Amino acid sequence: MKIISILFLAFIFAPIGKAQDSNSHPVSGGSWELGVFSGGGLGLGKSDNTQFMYAGGRVGRIFGHDHLSGWFRGNFEWAFDVMPFYTVFPPASAVYGGSFKPAIWQWNFTSHKKIIPYVAAAGGIVFSTNDIPPGNTSPVNFTSQLVTGAHVFVKPGHAFFFEDAIGHLSSASLGRHNPGYNGLIEFTVGYSWFRGRK
């Protein structure tokens, strides 16, 4: 009777294990992403004389299983960035500060195992030592971004990531004037560790 029970359980669970192995990839539901990064950018249009530099860390949580099929197959990740170094170079002199980005809503395209592209919408806040843009504006500004990028895995659970973003920065009228930066393009390079689900 024990042998029949063992064979029955093996028959039931073997296909499930095989399916999990065939669908497994480095960016799986239930795992965490920990990363470090640095990058920079520049303004567009009327802000083309402005540059940005930043560096910090990232924490992300991947929720649920993969959805959709083909090239669109993927999963959802909620991440946040902390940037203790965030510098803006207006025409006169550099303005130093930091940034916190608590909402990075990301879709990871997981149809490949070594290179996993993603798209994201992100929003955060920047605190600076002086008003940005220069003038009677505000040392507190808000950011919004559309992001595209990719994780390139160099070994299991370890990946470089590269991303670019088009964004906007303004004070939401916290200061007397709110010219903001209506067009920013940013480029980021980082390294991530994925932990949690085996």
The reported pLDDT for the residue numbered 3 is 41
Q: How many domains does the chain have?
A: 1
The reported pLDDT for the residue numbered 175 is 66
Q: State the average pLDDT over residues 27-43.
A: 93
The reported pLDDT for the residue numbered 23 is 47
CB under 8 Å to 81, separation ≥6 — which residues?
37, 56, 57, 58, 99, 100, 101, 104, 122, 124
> Is 7 part of any domain?
no
> Is 4 part of any domain?
no
Q: State the average pLDDT over residues 80-97.
A: 91
% of the chain at pLDDT higher than 90: 56
Please list, residue by residue across 162-187, b when 16 or more beta carbons sit within 10 angstroms of its beta carbon and e when fewer do: ebebebbbbbeeebeeeebbebbebe
> Is 176 part of any domain?
yes
Q: Domain range spanning residue 126?
A: 26-195
The reported pLDDT for the residue numbered 82 is 98
> Is 10 part of any domain?
no
> Residue 162: is its pLDDT beyond 70?
yes
> Is 11 part of any domain?
no
The reported pLDDT for the residue numbered 171 is 81
Please tell me which residue, 153 or 90, carries the higher pLDDT value. Answer: 153
> Residue 54: is its pLDDT beyond 60?
yes
Q: Among 56-60, 65-69, 123-127, which is the least confidently predicted range?
A: 65-69
Please state the pTM of the whole predicted model. 0.82
CB under 8 Å to 103, separation ≥6 — which residues?
78, 80, 121, 122, 123, 124
> Is 14 part of any domain?
no
> Residue 134: is its pLDDT beyond 70?
yes
> Is 90 part of any domain?
yes
> Residue 60: is its pLDDT beyond 90?
yes
Q: How confident is the model at residue 105 (pLDDT cuts 50, 70, 90)?
A: very high
CATH number, domain containing residue 136: 2.40.160.20
